[in-house]
């Protein structure tokens, strides 16, 4: 009888193996240990900002000295060139915030780690703030998602598609139900790189000029890009610039050679479940922010909880005020 094989005693035998995701501690208890107090949260944010070499907001000079405000205990910076004091929150979504940074970081954690989003009422209950405050915080977080999404570029095998969501126009009995933009529903264009990131943008129409302009702005290497789409007429001219595979959904869902749009269709299914189950209805004026949320949550689905929060804080450039959101013009949902 053969003796069982002995395990290797080489300590480096499993060194290069990636730890399975289900064995990595992503629990909320571990994250709370990471942010025990307000000072730790501010230090985390400031370290990320300093790594980005953010200069003086007045003159752009990078050298500074630091001092602490006695009344608040908050660290501030003094530019060595123009001698003006500033905080690292200036020019970000956190400028002039009265909320503790610990609540901001917990809001980012809860929002970025929710599988299908989280409502403003639920966020308000968990953080101990008003619903109006939670709604504003979540839109600021979505603005950071949008900064990430518009930094993406695509190549390789890319799937494109469009979808409609929301309540349909009521139809009188005996009349045919309208389709497409005639339904007055909210519409999105989506692009997904297989095993990669996702881009989502509200649509004003599905004309060739509109769709091609979006696609051209996102493709980084046209010669090495294969675009997969359905039979929509707006994609008729893509074969002139890219390798283009099309599937006619009236006849089949896929063709040999990997020609299908199943990945982007699965993403639309996830998006609509999020809207119906959590948000119920989207405001037309904020479609771009909600689209950025769906894009980020799916693109970062395999990253760790703490990494997602760090990534969000790197994208906090640019202010967003209550007045900006309330006076934001609605996105046109059709071309008529």
Q: What is the CA radius of gyration of the chain?
A: 24
Higher pLDDT, 177 or 216: 216
Grouping H, G, I as helix, E, B as strand and the rest as coil, residue 65 is strand
pLDDT in tens, 93-110: 999 899 999 999 999 999
The number of C-alpha atoms within 13 Å of 147 and in the hemisphere containing its C-beta is 18
Region 23-45: mean pLDDT is: 87
Domains detected in the chain? 27-90 (no CATH), 92-166+182-336 (3.30.420.10)
Residue 72, Cβ neighbours under 10 Å: how many? 8
d(CA 254, CA 46): 49
φ, ψ for residue 75, nearest 5 deg: -75, 135
Higher pLDDT, 73 or 109: 109
pLDDT above 90: residue 219 = yes
Grouping H, G, I as helix, E, B as strand and the rest as coil, residue 50 is helix
Residue 66, Cβ neighbours under 10 Å: how many? 9
Interacting residues of 224 by C-beta distance below 8 A, sequence separation 6+? 155, 156
Question: Picking from 8-12, 88-92, 156-160, 205-209, which range would have the lowest pLDDT averaged per residue?
Answer: 8-12
pTM (2 d.p.): 0.82
Give the range with max mean pLDDT: 158-167, 177-186, 286-295: 286-295
* 8 Å CB contact between 163 and 271: yes
Q: What's the pLDDT at 335? A: 32
Give the range with max mean pLDDT: 89-98, 118-127, 185-194: 118-127
Higher pLDDT, 20 or 216: 216
d(CA 28, CA 34): 10
Mean pLDDT of the chain: 84
How far, in whole angstroms, is CA 195 from its chain's centroid? 16
């Amino acid at each position: 009888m053969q003796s069982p094989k002995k395990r290797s005693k080489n300590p480096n035998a499993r060194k290069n193996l990636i730890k399975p995701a289900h064995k990595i501690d992503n629990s909320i208890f571990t994250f709370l240990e990471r942010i025990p107090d307000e000072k730790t949260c501010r230090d985390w944010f400031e370290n990320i900002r300093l790594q980005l070499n953010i200069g003086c907001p007045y003159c752009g000079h990078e050298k500074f000295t630091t001092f602490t405000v006695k009344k608040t205990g908050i660290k501030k910076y003094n530019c060595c060139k123009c001698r003006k004091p500033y905080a690292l929150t200036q020019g970000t979504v956190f400028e002039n915030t009265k909320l503790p940074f610990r609540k901001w970081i917990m809001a980012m954690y809860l929002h970025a780690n929710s599988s299908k989003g989280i409502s403003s009422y639920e966020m308000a209950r968990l953080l101990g703030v008003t619903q109006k405050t939670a709604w504003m915080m979540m839109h600021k977080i979505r603005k950071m998602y949008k900064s990430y999404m518009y930094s993406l570029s695509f190549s390789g095998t890319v799937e494109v598609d469009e979808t409609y969501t929301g309540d349909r126009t009521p139809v009188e009995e005996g009349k045919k139900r309208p389709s497409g933009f005639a339904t007055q529903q909210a519409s999105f264009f989506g692009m997904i790189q297989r095993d990669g990131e996702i881009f989502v943008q509200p649509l004003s129409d599905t004309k060739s000029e509109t769709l091609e302009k979006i696609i051209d702005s996102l493709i980084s290497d046209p010669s090495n890009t294969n675009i997969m789409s359905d039979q929509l007429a707006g994609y008729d001219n893509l074969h002139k610039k890219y390798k283009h595979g099309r599937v006619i959904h009236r006849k089949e869902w896929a063709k040999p050679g990997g020609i299908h749009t199943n990945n982007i269709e699965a993403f639309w299914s996830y998006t609509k479940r999020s809207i119906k189950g959590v948000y119920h209805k989207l405001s037309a004026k904020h479609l771009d922010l909600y689209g950025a949320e769906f894009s980020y949550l799916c693109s970062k689905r395999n990253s760790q909880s703490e990494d997602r929060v760090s990534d969000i804080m790197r994208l906090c450039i640019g202010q967003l005020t209550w007045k900006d959101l309330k006076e934001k013009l609605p996105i046109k949902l059709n071309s008529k």
